Structure formats: C-alpha cells, structure tokens
Structure 1
Amino acid sequence: MGARVTFVPDGKSIEVRPGTTILDASRKVRVQIRTRCGGKAACLMCKVRVADPAGLAPMNQNERLKLGGLEEQGYRLACQAKVVGHVIAELPEDPLKAAVRKQLERQQEEEGI
C-alpha cells in the first residue's frame, strides 16, 4: 500500500511517494495550506490536525520543539510531517473566514435574545 493524503474539509486525496511532506502533497493537489517560511518550520502557519498519526513518520526534534505540546492534540507541521501510509489531514479554518463566522454567530445570538 502506498502513501496517501486525504485533506478535510476539501475532500481531495492524492497518492504520494513515501517520505513526501503533507505540504508538498497539498501543493500537488492544489489544496491551500498557509505558510510564510517556505517549509522551514519557522512560521508555524502550516499546522494541520491528524487524527491517526500512524500514517506519518515519527516527529523530528525540530517539529516537536516548534509545536510545544500541540502534538498531543493531534497537530503536526505540514512542512515537516512525512507521509508513510494513509493520512487524513484536517486543515484549520482560514483566520479571516473564522473571524467572519464568529461575527455572524454573535449577531445571530444578539438578534435571538
């Protein structure tokens, strides 16, 4: 069985060579993962949540230090996490979309009161 990444909520999936990073896989299938450092584990913008880390190579020391405990909640850096099996990568909501969604929810609550 080859390496495969499925991106949620996009629903896109791609077969990749074992050792390919989640970030590289996302670019091949045109799934947007935000990054500012170009994949050097410096900006921490490319965090993704992985429910089952069995499809990923073990975390390197640099990634572990950068995440500072977030890995316990299932987070990995897409630029560092190397795919070795099947992985489902949950992408975080875009910050602008999240802000708009929260504002709309707040308005709905206020109107409902």
Structure 2
Amino acid sequence: MPASLAGSLAGVVAMDGDQVIGMGRLVGDGVKYFYVQDLAVLPSCQGQGVGRALLNRLMGHVARTAPASAFVGLFAAEAALPLYQRAGFTMGDMTGCSGWWTRSTTERKPRCFSLQIKRLSSGFLLC
C-alpha cells in the first residue's frame, strides 16, 4: 500500500481533531488523464460535506495542473453516484470494467470482480 500511495499524483486527508475521517487521491498521467481513486469517508461522517470537500480539493489539483482540457474518470458505488453527479460527473457513453491482474510465469489473465461497496476493518466505506 505505501508504494501505491506514493505513486499518486495528489492526495487529501480530512481530519477531525487528530482522527482521520476521510481521504482521497488522484492517479493518472498527470497531464491529460486523471482518475479519482479511493475516495472514502467514515460512515459516521458521511452526508456532512466531507466527501464533497475532498473531491473539490482533488478537482482543484486537476484545474491547477491540467492543460485546457483533461479527462477525469472514476469508479463509484451506486450509493456515491449523487456526490459525483452534483460535482458534474455523468455516466456518459462508456461502461466501466475492472479486474485484478495476477503475475504468472506463463500468461497474464484478468480475474474480474463486480464493483461493490467494501467495508474495511478500518471502518472506511470505499466509494
């Protein structure tokens, strides 16, 4: 996980005192393609504008660093769609796909899993 976080273009953390209540990051090429990744807010803090503030901060990074136009994509749980739609994201004409790649000495095959909300041991709800 540390290498994954270190490979991010930008990251934000929401704090309530000394407690982390949310986080998000951007990945991509840093020029034309950006992806909102791992936007998460503690369930007890959802619906209070934390996710919106994190997303706004990440989109501010895109606005400061991207050329006149850039692609910003994301995968979202159905429950999180209103957050992204209020920020101007649309479903568009693309269908998202996901899969896990495993290293093999003979071949590489995606093992696909459906998108779902995952509750981690830390209590975060990934969006």
Larger strand share, 1 or 2: 2
So what's the TM-score if we normalise by structure 2? Answer: 0.26
Comparing both chains, which one has the higher relative contact order based on Cα–Cα distances under 8 Å and sequence gaps of 6 or more?
Answer: 1
Larger helix share, 1 or 2: 1
So what's the TM-score if we normalise by structure 1? Answer: 0.28
